Amino acid sequence: MSHEIEENELIKQRRTKLENIAKKGIYPYGGRYDTSSTIKVLKDDFVEGKVASVAGRIMAIRSHGKSSFYDIKDSTGKIQAYFKADIVGAENFILLNDLDIGDFIGVKGDTFKTRTGEATIIAKEFTILAKSLKPLPEKWHGLKDVETRYRQRYVDLIVNDDVRGVFITRSRIVSEIRRFLDEKGFIEVETPMMQSMPGGAAGKPFKTHHEALDIDLFLRIAPELYLKRLLVGGLGKVYEINRSFRNEGISIKHNPEFTMLEVYESYSDCAGMMQLTEDLVKNLAQKVLGKTEIEYQGKIIDLSKWERVSFAELMKEQFGIVPSDSHEVWLKKLKAKGIEMEGKDITRTQIINIVGDLVEPKAGNHPVFVVDMFREMCPLAKVKADNPDLTDRFELYMGGMEIANAYSELNDPIEQKKRFEDELQGAKDGKRNIDEDFVNALEYGMPPAGGLGIGIDRLVMILTNSPSIRDVILFPQLKPQSPVEEK
Q: What is the model's pLDDT at position 199?
A: 84
Number of H helices, E strands in the chain: 16, 21
For residue 185, give the 3-state DSSP assignment. Answer: coil
Q: What is the model's pLDDT at position 276?
A: 98
Average pLDDT, the chain: 91
Residues contacting 217, CB < 8 A, separation 6+: 194, 195, 196, 207, 208, 209, 210
Chain CA centroid to CA 369, Å: 22
Q: What is the model's pLDDT at position 327?
A: 79
Query: Can you tell me the distance from the alpha carbon of 441 to that of 434, in angstroms, rounded to the nearest whole number?
Result: 13
The residue extents of the domains of the chain are 3-136, 158-486
The answer to whether the 3-136 and 158-486 domains have the same CATH topology is: no
Q: What is the model's pLDDT at position 330?
A: 84
Q: What is the model's pLDDT at position 429?
A: 53
| Res. 102: pLDDT tops 50 | yes
- Third-level CATH fold of 158-486: BirA Bifunctional Protein; domain 2 (3.30.930)
pLDDT mean over 275-293: 97
| Res. 181: pLDDT tops 50 | yes
pLDDT in tens, 402-445: 999 999 999 999 999 998 888 787 665 545 678 999 999 999 99
Query: Can you tell me the distance from the alpha carbon of 321 to that of 392, in angstroms, rounded to the nearest whole number?
Result: 19
pLDDT in tens, 188-216: 999 999 998 888 887 899 999 999 999 99
Share of the chain above pLDDT 90, in %: 73
Report the top-level CATH class of 3-136.
Answer: mainly beta
pLDDT in tens, 323-382: 888 878 888 888 888 887 765 567 777 777 777 676 667 667 999 999 998 888 888 899
pLDDT mean over 3-11: 82
Q: What is the model's pLDDT at position 344?
A: 53
> Quick one: CA torsion of 191, 244, 151, 398, rounded to 10 degrees?
-120
Q: List the one residue out of 388, 169, 432 whose CA is nearest residue 294.
A: 169
Q: What is the model's pLDDT at position 141?
A: 47
Between 429 and 451, the higher pLDDT residue: 451
Between 91 and 422, the higher pLDDT residue: 91
Residues contacting 421, CB < 8 A, separation 6+: 434
